[in-house]
Amino acid sequence: MPIDSRGSPEVSLADRATFFETEQWTAGVVGLGYVGLPLAVNAVQRGLRAIGFDVSPDAVARLQAGNSPVEDVSDADLLEALANGLELTSDESRLSEADALFICVPSPLNRHRQPDMSFIEAAAGTVSRVVGPGMMISLESTTYPGTTEDVIAPAAVSGGLTLDENVFVAFSPERVDPGNKRPLGSIPKVVGGVTLESGRVAAAAYGRLVDSVHLVSTSRSAEMTKLLENTYRAVNIGLVNEMAQLATELDIDIWEVIGAAATKPFGFQAFYPGPGVGGHCIPLDPQYLAWRAKEAGFATRFIDLAEQVNTRMPSYTADRIADLLNRRGLPVFGTEVLGVGVAFKPNVADDRESPSVDTLQVLVERGAKVSVLDPLVADDRVRGYGFTPVGPDQLDGFALAAVLTDHDAVDYEALAAAVPVVFDARGAYFRRGIAADNVVAL
């Protein structure tokens, strides 16, 4: 006999898993940013009802008007989802209508580069106020191992519900890849419950949202999975950034070396140097793991060393730019420098934690007059950093251009023709096969 969407305190594990696999249920999404909004839209596209909640009434109003701030959700996609039943609200009580809650709130670092748990803790407060019998609750925000058990699970049972009898708690890390148009449902989902039973119920729910679910034994394993994924990237980027510095000292072209090494069909994966690491994952996630390790009295030597190398890269990049100016008899102070790209990665408008911004700010602190060419990042964002935005037809008068984010929309041949020296911190010219005598690579 089918279970209604709210279930009852006597709902059995088997029945609830079957319910999520077979019935029409309601997804409640807490947080409507770059993770939550795509998830809510995807739920509707998969034939489910979805209620999206955000604490900002202004953000909800913009979304209800069909204005998506998330690159991976077009305005058309959002409008279609709204027409097909996506409900957006800043009234958290509406989440009590949901059968499954997906927590997609920010998990940044504070100014001491330690985890800022305030958003997750606020979401746990929301859970405690809206949780009902039969509900499955999944945390998707990146965090340290143990958060789901220590913060979310107590909130879920605070009103008298019993774990695995009438409430189920799990962790499933977001795997958003900004700028790459992969359908959310095509990315395999790692799921781990605070118990095996909660994990199985959560896996049944996610099975309706994505094509492939990989169930692990615990929420701690799922939390650690996300941290391993991005720590792996951070450590390897740190390695190649250090190799790039060494290659410069030895007068070796690091881009040629990486290209040669990448011809090996086994045992090597190419990572590329740059002015640092940016975005919402790689600069942050390893620090969650390092912080948790310190609590356990464990030294994360690889992570700490990669952090030192990567956070030093903006200053190193600025030093290389200053050296190139000096070789032309120019000081940094008062010289017109063009930064090409301030997004944290190619072909996106996202400038969160961007090392390109950090590099240019170092030059500004040294007295340079910095302008920015970025075809994707809005001019207001550029001005907000204290830089002057310019277009592709305004390249005259700069002593040097620094390619800090290699958007495909930039005409690199025209750039090299217009500016006396181009410092290529991203290998834009090498990887595109563009030869220019005035280009100097990182």
- 215 and 239 in a single domain? The answer is no
Neighbours of 394 (CB within 10 A): 14
Contacts of 410 (CB under 8 A, 6+ apart): 340, 341, 373, 375, 392, 403, 428
Q: Which position has the token pair 């980027």?
A: 237
- 203 and 299 in a single domain? The answer is no
Out of 5-9, 31-35, 179-183, 398-402, which region has the weakest mean confidence (pLDDT)?
5-9
- 120 and 262 in a single domain? The answer is no
Q: pLDDT-derived band of residue 13, with 50, 70 and 90 as boundaries?
A: low
Q: Write down the pLDDT at residue 11.
A: 46
d(CA 128, CA 161): 10
Q: pLDDT-derived band of residue 337, with 50, 70 and 90 as boundaries?
A: very high
DSSP assignment letter at 141: S
- The DSSP bridge pattern shows strands 49-53 and 189-193 to be unpaired
- 341 and 212 in a single domain? The answer is no
- 52 and 143 in a single domain? The answer is yes
The CA angle 250-256-257, to the nearest 5 degrees, is 65
172 inside domain: yes
For the chain, what is the domain count?
2
For residue 434, pLDDT over 70 is answered with yes
245 inside domain: yes
For residue 102, pLDDT over 80 is answered with yes
d(CA 307, CA 291): 13
The CA angle 241-243-244, to the nearest 5 degrees, is 65
Q: Active-site residues: which are they? A: 281
For residue 175, pLDDT over 50 is answered with yes
For residue 355, pLDDT over 90 is answered with yes
The CB-based long-range contact list for 12-15 (8 Å cut-off, 24+ gap) reads: 13/164, 13/165, 13/197, 13/200, 13/201
Q: Write down the pLDDT at residue 14.
A: 59
Q: What is the mean predicted confidence (pLDDT) over 29-35?
A: 95
3 inside domain: no
Contact in structure between 194 and 138 (CB atoms under 8 Å): no
Token representation of residue 309: 């190398």
149 inside domain: yes
Out of 6-10, 149-153, 247-251, 383-387, which region has the weakest mean confidence (pLDDT)?
6-10
- 20 and 72 in a single domain? The answer is yes
Q: What is the mean predicted confidence (pLDDT) over 143-153?
A: 96
For residue 278, pLDDT over 90 is answered with no
pLDDT, mean over the chain? 93
Query: Mapping DSSP to helix (H, G, I), strand (E, B) and coil, where does residue 223 land?
Result: helix
- 212 and 243 in a single domain? The answer is no
Residue of 341, 365, 366 lying closest to 355 (CA atoms): 341
Picking from 172, 195, 222, the residue at the C-terminal end of a domain is 222
Q: Write down the pLDDT at residue 2.
A: 33
**Distance of alpha carbon 118 from its chain centroid, rounded?**
18
Note if the pTM is more than 0.85: yes
How many Cα atoms sit within 13 Å of 21 on the Cβ side? 11
Share of the chain above pLDDT 70, in %: 97
Query: Mapping DSSP to helix (H, G, I), strand (E, B) and coil, where does residue 55 land?
Result: coil
Q: Which position has the token pair 């990182």?
A: 442
Q: pLDDT-derived band of residue 4, with 50, 70 and 90 as boundaries?
A: very low
Neighbours of 111 (CB within 10 A): 6
Contact in structure between 16 and 86 (CB atoms under 8 Å): no
Out of 33-37, 275-279, 361-365, which region has the weakest mean confidence (pLDDT)?
275-279
Q: pLDDT-derived band of residue 8, with 50, 70 and 90 as boundaries?
A: very low
Q: Write down the pLDDT at residue 5.
A: 43
- 209 and 308 in a single domain? The answer is no
Determine the length of the chain: 442
- 164 and 269 in a single domain? The answer is no
Token representation of residue 182: 């992969």
- 254 and 201 in a single domain? The answer is no
Picking from 199, 222, 245, the residue at the C-terminal end of a domain is 222
For residue 140, pLDDT over 70 is answered with yes
8 inside domain: no
Q: What is the mean predicted confidence (pLDDT) over 281-307?
A: 88
Q: Which domain holds residue 285?
A: 232-441
Q: What is the mean predicted confidence (pLDDT) over 365-384?
A: 96
For residue 189, pLDDT over 50 is answered with yes
- The DSSP bridge pattern shows strands 189-193 and 167-171 to be antiparallel
- 271 and 384 in a single domain? The answer is yes
d(CA 81, CA 283): 33
Picking from 170, 193, 222, the residue at the C-terminal end of a domain is 222
Query: Mapping DSSP to helix (H, G, I), strand (E, B) and coil, where does residue 421 land?
Result: coil
4 inside domain: no
- 49 and 156 in a single domain? The answer is yes
19 inside domain: yes
- The DSSP bridge pattern shows strands 135-139 and 100-103 to be parallel
d(CA 281, CA 226): 9
389: domain CATH number is 3.40.50.720
Helix, strand, coil abundance in the chain, percent, nearest 5: 40, 15, 45
377 inside domain: yes
For residue 262, pLDDT over 60 is answered with yes
